[in-house]
Structure 1
Amino acid sequence: MLFDTQEQAIETSISDSNKSSNHVENSSNSIKVVKRSGRLADLDISKIRNVVNWACTDKDVNAIALEAGLKTRIRYGISTREIQDNLINCALEMCNIDEPDWRYVAGRLSMWSLWKEILVSRGYNYGDYAKTVQSFVEAGKYDDRILVYSQAELETANGWINPDWDLDYDYAGTVLLTSRYLLPDELPQEAFLTCALLLASEEAPENRLHYAKKFYEAIASRRISLATPILANLRVPNGSLTSCFIISMEDNLESIYREITNTARISKNGGGVGVNVSRIRATGSAVMGKKNASGGVIPWIKLLNDTAIAVNQGGRRAGAVTVGLDIWHLDVPEFLEMQTENGDQRRKAYDVFPQLVITDEFMRRVKNKQSWTLVDPLEVREKLGYDLPLMWGEEFEKAYQDIEANLDTVIKLYKQVNARELFKHIMRSQVETGMPYLWFKDTVNKANPNKHDGYIPQGNLCQESYSNVTSGQYAHCCNLVSLNLANLEQQELEEVCTLAVRILDNTIDITNPPFTDAKNHNNRYRTIGVGAMGLADWLAKRELRYNNLQEISNLFEDMGFYCTQASMKLAQERGAFDAYEGSDWSKGLLIGSRPVEWYKANAYSPERWQILADDIQKYGIRNSHITAIAPNTSSSLVQGCTASILPVYSRFFYDKWAKGTVPIAPPYINDKVWFYQENKNLDQTMVVKTTGVIQQWIDTGISMELLFNLNEGVYYPSEPERALKAKDIFDTLIMAWEEGCKAVYYVRIVQKDNFKDECTACAN
């Protein structure tokens, strides 16, 4: 194994012996290096050569070039740590689209440094996992729930560790893994194994090791990616594992401040939260009988904004809050201006992420250039009895028409605008800031299997996860993993989907929700989100492109089926989610709350869907929502694949990090380069169509980003002076709604056309 060579290199590099017959040419042993112990020793180039050759093994690079590049940087008194850093920098500098494998060499050298530091720090590397567990528990680093396993079981688990998997990371992946996820003195495979053991701790004692091994192998071989809260927090005492939350404010002080406190609790534990404010009365509404006294939603949003800054996840980063407002709310125009520089700064909120909750009726009026009425929810509720935020579909449309029929006579506080002009205002904000997100309320709620038990008010922070929310009772919360399609073969998909569902269902019982409403939601709905990343790699590997919609549909049909089937089988074993009776699942409806007949007409393998529907009606289903595709922007770098289902931004580019510029490239760039379609040049209608096809098989949502290149000739090679127009962006956003996409996440804009040497300027 490569690891054996590395162990020998480490042993050689920390040996007290300085004997070597191969010193730097013409040095006469005059160059001294500073060891980590602080003492001077003769430089031995053979040790460096061994490490260089090891790092370059099975990669398409010239090891001699790396060694030669290092020699110009060696000086008297250089430390061994500096030598290692210089090797890494040399490898990074040689990395380009023609020799992309240097990023893996830099990753191995960075991992080698980690191995060596831990060897020096604690006296051993891999090989004594039970000892690591015991010392970490005693030091308060590991949750003592790991001690449910005996010494003998931990020693058995030690035998599963495969250190060679540490060598699969490129430099970006290694840096993110070590800086963001590993604990002090912890090795990568120890982190993955501990997560796997804890995830399996909910299994029956006789099955724990069986599932722990399967979980470990899927996680460590990068076929399943744990969401950041799980990978970062599962091992530590009292860690919260939930990625996504949604809460809703009622129109009273008690509810508002309760949900602000809940936002703080979520932020403290590193979760992202969506806060719906649509029920709060509008600016100019009455307060305690006094007309024109309300300041509207903006002051409360500002409090959420400041809470996100103040409760900064233990100093790691500001909290992440998306605030949702229904498109009919009277405060929508000011909501769209709350992040601009002009105006009253006391009514600005620059650190939240705005989203608009869009109804089908509004989109139809946008298309038809009709008027749209903005109203105050309090006045509508008090005078006409309609609680608009809770309504969607035909019920909303009938109520809205009645409201418009009573303007001036009953409803006094309103404003009428042109729907298309309002949509253009939204687009201008998206071009400038990337937001607001657009969340299609009717599309989502039609597909909600729990209509019998409530409604979904808005999307989560990344627009892929949502379920019923009841203020003061149920707060949406969801745990996430993603399948790494770059590393999966077709024959593995069923097993990996089954493992992913089991991992997340176990996570529900392991996690510590930060407040009662979240715990209640977990118990009632057991919402999970199995996602996917690396679709661009999956396509390139098979020499397919984003217009191969049938192949993409078949892939996600399989994923949707296997995940749903796995949840049904868990229900056989553990019981259905509490709100199952009366749900669309219980009525024989499947993903998207569609009847079996739809699957018989649209699935490539229709027979199995009828069997699945029958089984769900017989046994129930364990999780009310099962699949959701997150953006995975950072975790995909750790996984060594492209993010989510999106095309790769660029086939090769350098990203600017705190540690300098870091090369980014997809895994199959060497031999499949031309099958990677670059998103910066790709017509975004293709992204929308692809997302729409995938959404058919995903029961929650997809974080769909759109990237519009404003440079001339990009989309129209035959017309070099033609650039994208506002109408083109407008048509694409309308298409997203028409194609059944549930949300539009960020809208990003490319403003420069120098991709070789400069970072492209994108909104956000």
Structure 2
Amino acid sequence: MSLSIQHDHAASSRQALQTGLTANEYRLIRRDGSVTPFDQNKIAIALTKAFLAVEGSSAAASRRIHETVAELTDQIVSALLRRAEPGRVFHIEDVQDQVELALMRAEHQKVARAYVLYREERARERQRAQTDAPSPAPALTILENDGRTKPLDIRALRQTLATACADLPGVETEPVLQETLRNLYDGIGADDFALAQIMAARTLIEQEPNYAFVSARLLLGKLKREAHAFIGFPGETPSYAEYFPTYIKAGIEAGLLDPELARFDLERIAQALKPERDDLFQFLGLQTLYDRYFLHHDDVRFELPQAFFMRVAMGLAIREVDREAHAIAFYDLLSSFDFMCSTPTLFNAGTPRPQLSSCFLTSVPDDLDGIFKSIKDNALLSKYAGGLGNSWTRVRGLGAHIQGTNGKSQGVVPFLKVANDTAIAVNQGGKRKGAVCAYLETWHIDIEEFLDLRKNTGDDRRRTHDMNTAHWIPDLFMERVAQDADWMLFSPDEVPQLHDLYGTAFADAYRATEEKAARGEIRIWKTLKAVDLWRRMLTMLFETGHPWITFKDPCNIRSPQGHVGVVHSSNLCTEITLNTSDEEVAVCNLGSVNLARHVTPQGLDHERLARTVRTAMRMLDNVIDVNFYTIPEARRSNLRHRPVGLGLMGFQDALYTLRLPFQSEAAVAFADESMEAISFHAIASSCDLAAERGRYPSFDGSLWSRGILPIDSLELLAQARGSLDVDRSSRLDWTALRERVRTIGMRNSNVMAIAPTATISNICGVSQSIEPNFRNLYVKANMSGDFTIINPSLVRDLKERGLWDEVLISDLKYFDGALSRIDRVPDDLKFLYSTAFEIEPAWLIESAARRQKWIDQAQSLNLYIVSPNGRKLDAMYRLAWLRGLKTTYYLRSTSATHVEKSTLRGTDGALNAVQLAPAQAQPQVNACVIDDPTCEACQ
């Protein structure tokens, strides 16, 4: 149902009021004798509540309710006004009689009965001098894990729930208690009894977001009982200081913790733990940690949240001189949610196999040994939670000559099929499926077959349903598209030089190769219109979500490391741009600043941000030395260049705090300001680390060594293209920093990359990465289950204006979490809380362009579009290229997007995920799901 009923009623009531009367000419006498203007919308709201109580709020029910309520409201208003004269005053009982009559006439017997009973009950309540005592709870027993039974202690249960609700605005104990009791039965197991309490609070999240904290506190209680019993505190509630040393010992004995952790000053470490920070968790964040991150033995969790953060901090500080001091500093940063490491670091820090890096990039050679070594490397890297990006451009194309057998190649596609299946076979420690993205340059002879890899038709042996794919597009191709010129495809075994060239050097070599083909000196080639290939690229992106669009030249021209190699691809999520070769597998170590924790209504907190970035950069740099490397090429590359990728999350939340709509020049300016500050402090921190620890080995000859910072490398791209329409303004003192970098050096070859952060943003309870809000109310699914996600900022604003109620919740479900068609919501809130599909994608691109000027790597930029067509997609991706973006990520369309429109009540969590599928995708397409645990987007 929807309160756009109000809009519908405005039209339909005009038909009912042909007498010329208007509803606002009438007044209503309330039971207390007060007189108020007659408001027909309140009839719609009352009807909606009655239908919701009887029929529920599933998608189908909401649609029926929306239509039925509109019709019934018209009938009721018409009946009231038909014989009325201007100035007539209705009594509220008259109105309710008409509502009851209309329900019975329309044969909505169940709703009418519920409405009659509701009126009778309210009448009895008004007659009571005081509220009746609550009815006694049913006599139930609980089956303990040791087989004993005990009676349900309702007082203890109420006290537990009251403690979980304490100090949280807008929450009450009684609704959680009643919902819990509704789901209990005699002989319920102790674990199910605990779960019933958690689920009871969870059902109320859509009414009040703070119930997410109630659910988290109840889950924490369950976790504590589980952990304390495992490590030897059954029935007791030890303090964190008592628990922590025992936890370390238990983890080491189970083979899950590095024995070196026991050599820390555990008393000092334990005293630094801050139990109150457990209350920062919302349910989704804590449940995600419980299911996927906390250490467990025989499926029993024994790691509590603050111990988890300290374990990670100790693992990162393990080689520091004063490692206790640094561990505590790292812990403070993580446990406050000011910064969060990426998932592999959280999984593995402090364990016997600390594979902490997020991303690995490889370049696959053109020989059988090299191809299968690359596939084996993928398996080894994936085993410990690494996300993979492979450049396949060097592998010869279909029909190319094979000298060893004098036969013809089947091209790159069969090998991609093997790589796809390997990624699925080697899951990441049993915690998620392996994930890989294959890149191919646009001039490769197999590019047309590459486009079809994700289709659900055709020969399945030439399809990769689980592998992500991406184009690696040179600027020359985009120029040919603009010129409506021809484009030639070649097999790389005949033109190997094209793989390692970019910019003007690539353009010159490519034109020379075209001339050779025209003279008959190239055996495998094909000519087609560049714009025809471009259109097909966009069509497949539209239909299957792949291949993604990434740009080779800006990635290389602006790379600080162009003096020692070439960027041949990006990674699984398109934010990493590092060199690869046969000798080096690029590695990147990620973490993200929580921008929402660094803004106030007055603006960006630069001092706090500087502190956060300084500590975060030290943590990321430590990853490189602590890291467990599964292949030598990764170790060699990481120690030689020492790249890290500091990103951000919570951008949308920061905009809410600043009251800036995403689709505004002010938001674009804030994207610029905030990224400049992060860039400045990240570069300065790496420079400080270089002064303390030494420059990275390949520093000499880099852009850094020449005093060329990311903001300066924009000019290099402008020179290569002839022009570049990108804002170049700055606010901070870059002149002094530039000189420090040139003379002192950098500890890290690369320092910034914005990853998707879907899982770590869940942990912190903020919006992911640089994304606009997907929906204001929806159901999110991941490996931990299904979760109601509601925008707490919106709820807070609506409550302040007296607009938040059950009907508005139903409206949000009916309109897929968007406010635009709910009439009673003011326009300023509609604008501020516009969702991703209500924002023109050009705003996302403009904000990304203002960030990209400060970033030495790239950013995972999802683009959202309503009802896409060829013209819109062409304009969108050309704008991304013109603004100098290095990469783009998923294209998300409303055409195949749905949201489950039912509540959690009565479903036990069995809800569908929010599908962010490519437009017009067939049902069997393995579509991208928000917070998909099978891909690195969950970082």
Q: TM-score, with normalisation over the residues of structure 1?
A: 0.90
Which of the numbers 143, 162, 187 marks the counterpart of 1:53?
162
AA in 1 matched with 2:165 = C
* 1:745 corresponds to 2:889: yes
Which of the numbers 669, 689, 696 marks the counterpart of 1:550?
669
Specify the SS of the correspondent of 2:399.
coil
Superposed, which structure 2 residues align to 1:336-347 within 5 Å? 336-347=451-462
2: distance between equivalents of 1:389 and 1:235?
40
8 Å Cα contact 1:199-1:212 kept in structure 2 = yes
- What's the offset of the Cα at 1:679? 0.5
- What's the offset of the Cα at 1:684? 1.0
Which of the numbers 307, 312, 318 marks the counterpart of 1:195?
312
Q: Which residue number corresponds to residue 294 of structure 2?
A: 182
1:753 and 1:506, CA in 2 relative to 1: closer, same or farther beyond 3 A? closer
Superposed, which structure 2 residues align to 1:187-336 within 5 Å? 187-204=304-321, 207-288=322-403, 293-336=408-451
Q: Which residue number corresponds to residue 72 of structure 1?
A: 182
2: distance between equivalents of 1:435 and 1:753?
16
1: distance between equivalents of 2:689 and 2:502?
32
Specify the SS of the correspondent of 1:378.
coil
8 Å Cα contact 2:652-2:770 kept in structure 1 = yes
Which of the numbers 635, 658, 661 marks the counterpart of 1:519?
635
Q: Which residue number corresponds to residue 12 of structure 1?
A: none
1:102 and 1:178, CA in 2 relative to 1: closer, same or farther beyond 3 A? same
Q: Which residue number corresponds to residue 671 of structure 1?
A: 796
2: distance between equivalents of 1:595 and 1:761?
33
Q: Which residue number corresponds to residue 686 of structure 1?
A: 843
Q: Which residue number corresponds to residue 515 of structure 2?
A: 405
Q: Which residue number corresponds to residue 205 of structure 2?
A: 95
AA in 1 matched with 2:411 = G
8 Å Cα contact 1:223-1:496 kept in structure 2 = yes
- Residues 540-591 of structure 1 show CA distances to partners (whole Å, capped at 9, x for unaligned) of 0111122222222111100000000000000000111110011110001012
8 Å Cα contact 2:837-2:864 kept in structure 1 = yes
Specify the SS of the correspondent of 2:389.
strand
* 1:32 corresponds to 2:146: no
Q: Which residue number corresponds to residue 647 of structure 2?
A: 531
- Residues 254-273 of structure 1 show CA distances to partners (whole Å, capped at 9, x for unaligned) of 32222122111111111111
1: distance between equivalents of 2:517 and 2:593?
51
1: distance between equivalents of 2:208 and 2:887?
38
Specify the SS of the correspondent of 2:596.
helix
- What's the offset of the Cα at 1:342? 2.7
Q: Greater CA deviation, 662-671 or 220-229? A: 662-671
Which is greater in Rg? 2
- Residues 481-532 of structure 1 show CA distances to partners (whole Å, capped at 9, x for unaligned) of 1111122241310010011110010110000111011001011100101110
* 1:445 corresponds to 2:556: yes
Which of the numbers 684, 708, 712 marks the counterpart of 1:565?
684
* 1:171 corresponds to 2:290: no
1:660 and 1:579, CA in 2 relative to 1: closer, same or farther beyond 3 A? closer
8 Å Cα contact 2:399-2:410 kept in structure 1 = yes
8 Å Cα contact 2:490-2:525 kept in structure 1 = yes
1: distance between equivalents of 2:897 and 2:456?
27
2: distance between equivalents of 1:761 and 1:191?
32
1:658 and 1:357, CA in 2 relative to 1: closer, same or farther beyond 3 A? closer
- What's the offset of the Cα at 1:55? 1.4
1:235 and 1:210, CA in 2 relative to 1: closer, same or farther beyond 3 A? closer
Specify the SS of the correspondent of 2:787.
strand
AA in 2 matched with 1:643 = Q
8 Å Cα contact 2:205-2:790 kept in structure 1 = no
AA in 2 matched with 1:229 = P
**How many residues are matched?**
714
Unpaired stretches in structure 2, ≥5 consecutive residues: 1-132, 297-301, 600-604, 719-726, 799-828, 903-913, 919-927, 929-939
Aligned sequence identity (%): 30
AA in 1 matched with 2:619 = I
8 Å Cα contact 1:557-1:603 kept in structure 2 = no
Specify the SS of the correspondent of 1:634.
helix
Q: Greater CA deviation, 670-679 or 247-256? A: 670-679
Q: Which residue number corresponds to residue 637 of structure 1?
A: 762
- Residues 417-472 of structure 1 show CA distances to partners (whole Å, capped at 9, x for unaligned) of 1112111211121122211122110011111011111110010011111211111x
Which of the numbers 104, 111, 119 marks the counterpart of 2:213?
104
Q: Which residue number corresponds to residue 708 of structure 1?
A: 865
Q: TM-score, with normalisation over the residues of structure 2?
A: 0.73
Q: Which residue number corresponds to residue 715 of structure 1?
A: none
Specify the SS of the correspondent of 1:323.
strand
- What's the offset of the Cα at 1:187? 0.8
Specify the SS of the correspondent of 2:455.
coil
Which of the numbers 143, 147, 151 marks the counterpart of 2:262?
147
AA in 1 matched with 2:216 = G
Specify the SS of the correspondent of 2:690.
helix
Specify the SS of the correspondent of 2:318.
helix
- What's the offset of the Cα at 1:687? 0.9
1:699 and 1:422, CA in 2 relative to 1: closer, same or farther beyond 3 A? same
Q: Greater CA deviation, 424-433 or 217-226? A: 424-433
* 1:487 corresponds to 2:602: no
AA in 2 matched with 1:42 = P
Superposed, which structure 2 residues align to 1:697-736 within 5 Å? 697-710=854-867, 724-736=868-880
Which of the numbers 465, 482, 494 marks the counterpart of 1:379?
494
1:69 and 1:342, CA in 2 relative to 1: closer, same or farther beyond 3 A? closer
1: distance between equivalents of 2:888 and 2:451?
16
- What's the offset of the Cα at 1:290? 6.7
Q: Which residue number corresponds to residue 59 of structure 2?
A: none
- Residues 86-117 of structure 1 show CA distances to partners (whole Å, capped at 9, x for unaligned) of 22222222221x42222221122112211122
1:440 and 1:648, CA in 2 relative to 1: closer, same or farther beyond 3 A? same
Unpaired stretches in structure 1, ≥5 consecutive residues: 1-22, 382-386, 711-723
* 1:425 corresponds to 2:542: no
- Residues 694-732 of structure 1 show CA distances to partners (whole Å, capped at 9, x for unaligned) of 11111111000112222xxxxxxxxxxxxx432112211
8 Å Cα contact 2:314-2:350 kept in structure 1 = no
1: distance between equivalents of 2:505 and 2:352?
47
Which of the numbers 753, 760, 771 marks the counterpart of 1:646?
771
8 Å Cα contact 1:633-1:644 kept in structure 2 = yes
2: distance between equivalents of 1:260 and 1:680?
38
* 1:501 corresponds to 2:620: no
- Residues 348-367 of structure 1 show CA distances to partners (whole Å, capped at 9, x for unaligned) of 22221111100111111222
AA in 1 matched with 2:731 = S
8 Å Cα contact 1:448-1:592 kept in structure 2 = no
- What's the offset of the Cα at 1:755? 4.9
Cα RMSD for the two superposed structures? 2.2
AA in 1 matched with 2:677 = D
AA in 1 matched with 2:446 = D
2: distance between equivalents of 1:217 and 1:475?
33
8 Å Cα contact 2:288-2:784 kept in structure 1 = no
1:441 and 1:672, CA in 2 relative to 1: closer, same or farther beyond 3 A? farther
8 Å Cα contact 2:539-2:870 kept in structure 1 = no
* 1:127 corresponds to 2:228: no
AA in 2 matched with 1:641 = V
- What's the offset of the Cα at 1:754? 6.6
Which of the numbers 413, 434, 437 marks the counterpart of 2:545?
434
- Residues 48-102 of structure 1 show CA distances to partners (whole Å, capped at 9, x for unaligned) of 1111111112222222221122233333222333232222222222221x42222
1: distance between equivalents of 2:464 and 2:586?
24
Q: Which residue number corresponds to residue 114 of structure 2?
A: none
